Structure 1
Amino acid sequence: MQLPHSLTWVGFDLDGTLVNTAADICAAINTTLEHYQVGQVTVDDVQTWIGNGIDKATERALAKVGATHIDVSAAAAKVSAAYNQCVTDSSTLYVDAKATLQALQQQGLKLLLVTNKNESHTHALVNALGIADYFDAIVCGDTLPQRKPDPAMLFSALNNLSLDISEGIYVGDSKNDVATARNAGCPVICVNYGYNHGLDIADANPDKIITRLGEVETLLAAR
């Protein structure tokens, strides 16, 4: 893996990369499905739907239970409201997440959080889990009209800090994150434990696959 010679920033995805959020998202979806009396889904189901925002996850849930007659936008609004009530109930940081962010910050690197999760849920999570202060920029799924894999979100974070795309790397867990980095023009590292729509992350051809976030610090130290 070829790392930038002059490294100034590291960007991160949230769900499936830094935080295991599937159980709380599943709870919000099931609360909504219960409202419509159309069945329930499992955490295993939800893990394959995360990464494209609440609207898409809701659409997939409705399809799973055979309720495609229900308006997706209305149902997604109910999921979002239900998620407001449980967003921090069961979600936990992955191994090495906080330690890695702390170590990179201490090295003087700028840290970016670029996620398709909406702003209210993102900020609730990072504040509750004690990682908000590590990020120099946070761009969410409803911050801009565009979402990943459109690179506009990553460029927005970089522009806010006067950073260059050629001086950093992006860390994620899915083919969506790989496409984001490729579209932006920077290297991408992927964890192998996240939410990649039920697919092997190797199929997305990231520049490096890691098993725990602590490996990011190791890779950067070896450059």
Structure 2
Amino acid sequence: MPAASPFRHPPLQAAIVDLDGTMVDTLGDFCAALDRVADELALPRVAAAEVERMVGKGSEHLIRSVLAHVGADAGRFEAAWASYQRSYAEVNGRHARVYPGVVQGLEQLRARGLALACLTNKPTAFARELLQAKGLAAFFAQVFGGDAFARKKPDPLPLLATCQALGSAPARTLMLGDSSNDAQAARAAGCPVVLVTYGYNHGRPVREVDADGWVDSLAEAAALL
């Protein structure tokens, strides 16, 4: 499917790029870590299709969602959270792959003179490690995770704080993501937003989300600008 038509926006200064589901397919990492948690706590494992619907709102939300899905007591959160932190640190990047077109897209955005930041709901340390492991770290002037600010996407605070760190105005800062979390945060922050069509959008078609455009590859994003 071709990219959406170019949209009108002020001249861009920067771009903020989501990580999971936008640049890197990390579903395998999530599943591997959650399988370890399930085995350690004697809980049922969760199918990948179900995990895919749960990711995107931060690790704490993921763990609470998994516990609810398997019918476990919410009081087991602390044990599950500690197990997940250990498990994810061990598997981070091992079962993940960079989506086709990501490197080309980042190169094109950088060639246009845009400052780039990675903003994700994944914990910052895990995000930095993953970007480094996948050869993407050098593209980004700033990297912020879900623990970097008081609130996570879809709240606009992370986007506004990232714009401030980049020295860019929100109206001149493009958000590139894969889900309603990214779009809602961008709309509330006053940033234009383009979504990829292949990521994790909580089981919903991404073209239903209010956005300025959709692309099948990050390599198509520059053509919209």
Instruction: Decide: shared fold, TM above 0.5.
Output: yes
What is the TM-score of this pair, normalised by structure 1? 0.94
- Say if 2:79 is the partner of 1:74: yes
Letter in 1 for 2:113: G
Q: What is the CA–CA distance in structure 1 between the aligned matches of 2:90 and 2:63, rounded to whole Å?
A: 17
Contact 2:183 / 2:211 at 8 angstroms: preserved in 1?
yes
Q: What is the CA–CA distance in structure 2 between the aligned matches of 1:18 and 1:79, rounded to whole Å?
A: 22
Q: Secondary structure at the match of 1:48?
A: helix
Letter in 2 for 1:94: Y
Q: What is the CA–CA distance in structure 1 between the aligned matches of 2:94 and 2:18, rounded to whole Å?
A: 20
Letter in 1 for 2:96: S
**RMSD across aligned C-alpha pairs, in angstroms?**
1.3
Q: Which residue of 198, 203, 211 maps to 1:206? A: 211
Gaps of 5+ in 1: none
- Say if 2:67 is the partner of 1:62: yes
Superimposed CA distance per residue, residues 56-77 of structure 1 (whole angstroms, 9 cap, x where no aligned partner): 1111111222213542233122
Superimposed CA distance per residue, residues 97-122 of structure 1 (whole angstroms, 9 cap, x where no aligned partner): 11111221122111111111101110
Q: Secondary structure at the match of 2:83?
A: helix
Contact 1:4 / 1:168 at 8 angstroms: preserved in 2?
no
- Say if 2:8 is the partner of 1:3: yes
Q: Which residue of 167, 189, 192 maps to 1:184? A: 189
Contact 1:202 / 1:209 at 8 angstroms: preserved in 2?
yes
Superimposed CA distance per residue, residues 151-200 of structure 1 (whole angstroms, 9 cap, x where no aligned partner): 11111111122211111211111111110101101111111111111011
After superposing on structure 2, the runs of 4+ consecutive aligned residues of structure 1 that deviate more than 4 Å are none
Superimposed CA distance per residue, residues 38-59 of structure 1 (whole angstroms, 9 cap, x where no aligned partner): 1101221111111111111111
Q: What is the CA–CA distance in structure 1 between the aligned matches of 2:74 and 2:171, rounded to whole Å?
A: 46
TM-aligned CA distance change 1:69 to 1:150, over 3 Å = closer
Superimposed CA distance per residue, residues 69-104 of structure 1 (whole angstroms, 9 cap, x where no aligned partner): 542233122112100000111111111111111221
Q: What is the CA–CA distance in structure 1 between the aligned matches of 2:178 and 2:158, rounded to whole Å?
A: 17
- Please name the residue that 1:146 is paired with: 151
- Please name the residue that 1:35 is paired with: 40
Q: What is the CA–CA distance in structure 2 between the aligned matches of 1:138 and 1:3, rounded to whole Å?
A: 27
- Please name the residue that 2:114 is paired with: 109
Q: What is the CA–CA distance in structure 1 between the aligned matches of 2:85 and 2:197, rounded to whole Å?
A: 27
- Say if 2:55 is the partner of 1:84: no
Contact 1:55 / 1:73 at 8 angstroms: preserved in 2?
no
Q: Secondary structure at the match of 1:82?
A: helix
Q: What is the CA–CA distance in structure 2 between the aligned matches of 1:74 and 1:180, rounded to whole Å?
A: 31
Contact 1:155 / 1:165 at 8 angstroms: preserved in 2?
yes
- Please name the residue that 2:3 is paired with: none
What is the TM-score of this pair, normalised by structure 2? 0.93
Q: What is the CA–CA distance in structure 1 between the aligned matches of 2:215 and 2:166, rounded to whole Å?
A: 27
Percentage of pairs with the same residue:
32
Q: Secondary structure at the match of 1:138?
A: strand
* Larger mean Cα displacement after TM superposition, 20-29 or 59-68: 59-68
Q: What is the CA–CA distance in structure 2 between the aligned matches of 1:161 and 1:65, rounded to whole Å?
A: 41
- Please name the residue that 2:136 is paired with: 131
Contact 1:18 / 1:97 at 8 angstroms: preserved in 2?
yes
Q: What is the CA–CA distance in structure 1 between the aligned matches of 2:145 and 2:79, rounded to whole Å?
A: 21
Gaps of 5+ in 2: 1-5
Q: What is the CA–CA distance in structure 2 between the aligned matches of 1:17 and 1:3, rounded to whole Å?
A: 23
Q: What is the CA–CA distance in structure 1 between the aligned matches of 2:74 and 2:154, rounded to whole Å?
A: 28
